[in-house]
């Protein structure tokens, strides 16, 4: 059975490109353009993994993760962001997010990170 990945990214071009890449690699993909729409999707869908941008208008990636953690949602989570400074990674780690992909990343980095998350 294919794994379902929820991709939360406000940049349409990045979101569509990543979704196509993941689909070609054999994953089913749900796309959300905002944190709010992603949380609505999670009410009816059960993703096996969430990949989330940090910098988004409205509810940012940190807010999405905090909400999911508060509601005891244990879905593996990857931050995918242009915020690549050490303090940004540390903030994510302090929140409990281990997997952090700094943009731009290549296909191999993304797939490797996904496989690592799904094998835990």
pLDDT of residue 89: 83
Q: What range defines the domain where residue 35 resides?
A: 4-119
Dihedral sign (CA 82, 85, 91, 93): positive
Number of domains in the chain: 1
CATH of the domain at 39: 3.40.50.2300
List the beta bridge partners of residue 102.
81
Per-residue pLDDT of the chain (120 residues; tens, 9 = 90+): 799 999 999 999 999 999 999 999 999 999 999 999 999 999 999 999 999 999 999 999 999 999 999 886 778 999 998 877 788 888 888 888 888 888 888 889 999 999 999 987
Q: Could you say which DSSP state residue 76 is in?
A: -
Lateral strand order in the sheet of 4-8: 28-32, 4-8, 49-52, 77-81, 99-102
List the beta bridge partners of residue 78.
51, 99
Cβ neighbourhood burial of 29 (10 Å; 0-12, 13-18, 19+): buried
* Main-chain dihedrals φ then ψ at residue 34, nearest 5 degrees: -155, 165
């Amino acid at each position: 059975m294919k794994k379902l990945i929820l991709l939360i990214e406000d940049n349409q071009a990045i979101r569509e490109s990543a979704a196509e890449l993941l689909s070609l690699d054999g994953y089913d993909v749900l796309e959300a353009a905002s944190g709010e729409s992603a949380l609505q999707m999670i009410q009816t869908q059960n993703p096996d993994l969430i990949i989330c941008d940090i910098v988004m208008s409205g509810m940012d990636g940190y807010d999405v993760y905090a909400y999911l953690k508060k509601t005891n949602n244990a879905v593996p989570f990857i931050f995918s962001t242009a915020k690549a400074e050490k303090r940004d990674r540390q903030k994510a780690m302090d929140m409990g997010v281990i997997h952090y992909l700094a943009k731009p990343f290549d296909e191999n980095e993304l797939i490797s990170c996904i496989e690592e998350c799904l094998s835990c």
